[in-house]
């Protein structure tokens, strides 16, 4: 099944039957591009740090790029960030995590540059914030080596954190910090 093979709005069931990694965005199944070493490694470093934080402090669940979140914006969407922090009671039998995480990390891959990609990333940020995300990181390990920190209370004014500096996800993950240099370990 492909996005174009459906003559109706795609559903969660359609996404679950899709062959390959994809997201459900505004009624369309959107295949996810393959990602190379540097972005995958960076996402893994953030996820590992969040896992360690969860073990030490509790208060939420850390998810890597395999986690898919069913959100309503008011439409049903299924988005899969590269890392996330979710607060709630998980349904261990559900095929996706129901509800928005409070913190989302999107790591740019080679296809995430240029005007069209920027528009797509903005639309995705808008969906995340409409669903209740408090903090979103746009991680650029391929070109600028920065983390742009977007917060729900000022989504149009991200803070840019550079290599040699430390980023946070306040208020979503209180007290947790992450050194930008750790993206490149």
Instruction: Report the DSSP pairing between strands 28-31 and 76-79.
Output: unpaired
Q: Are 14 and 29 in contact (CB under 8 A)?
A: yes
Residue 114: the pLDDT is 96
Residue owning tokens 């240029």: 114
Residue 94: the pLDDT is 92
The residue count for the chain: 185
Residue 1: the pLDDT is 46
In a domain, 2, yes or no: no
Residue 165: the pLDDT is 98
In a domain, 8, yes or no: no
Total structural domains within the chain = 1
In a domain, 1, yes or no: no
Strand partners, 72: 76
Helix (H) or strand (E) run with residue 115 in it: helix 115-131
Residue 5: the pLDDT is 56
In a domain, 177, yes or no: yes
In a domain, 18, yes or no: no
In a domain, 26, yes or no: no
Supply the CATH number for residue 137's domain: 3.90.1570.10
In a domain, 7, yes or no: no
Distances (CA, A) of 157 to 48, 125, 151: 28, 13, 8
Q: Is the peptide bond before 171 cis (omega within 30 degrees of 0)?
A: yes
Range of the domain at 171: 35-66+78-184
Instruction: Report the DSSP pairing between strands 69-72 and 22-25.
Output: unpaired
- Residue ranges in the chain modelled with pLDDT below 50: 1-4
Residue 136: the pLDDT is 99
Backbone angles phi, psi at 15, to 5 degrees: -60, -40
């Amino acid at each position: 099944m492909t996005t174009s093979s459906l003559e109706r709005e795609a559903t969660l069931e359609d996404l679950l039957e899709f062959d390959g990694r994809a997201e459900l965005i505004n009624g369309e199944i959107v295949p996810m591009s393959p990602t190379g070493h540097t972005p995958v490694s960076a996402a893994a470093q953030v996820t590992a740090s969040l896992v360690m934080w969860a073990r030490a402090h509790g208060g939420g669940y850390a998810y890597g790029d395999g986690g898919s979140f069913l959100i309503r914006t008011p439409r049903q969407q299924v988005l899969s960030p590269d890392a996330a922090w979710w607060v709630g009671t998980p349904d261990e039998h559900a095929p996706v995590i129901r509800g928005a995480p409070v913190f989302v990390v999107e790591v740019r891959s080679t296809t995430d540059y240029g005007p069209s990609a920027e528009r797509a990333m903005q639309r995705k940020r808008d969906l995340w914030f409409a669903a209740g995300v408090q903090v979103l990181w746009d991680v650029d390990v391929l070109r600028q080596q920065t983390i742009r920190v977007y917060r729900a209370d000022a989504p149009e004014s991200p803070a840019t954190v550079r290599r040699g500096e430390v980023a946070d996800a306040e208020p979503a993950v209180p007290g947790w910090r992450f050194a930008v240099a750790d993206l490149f370990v």
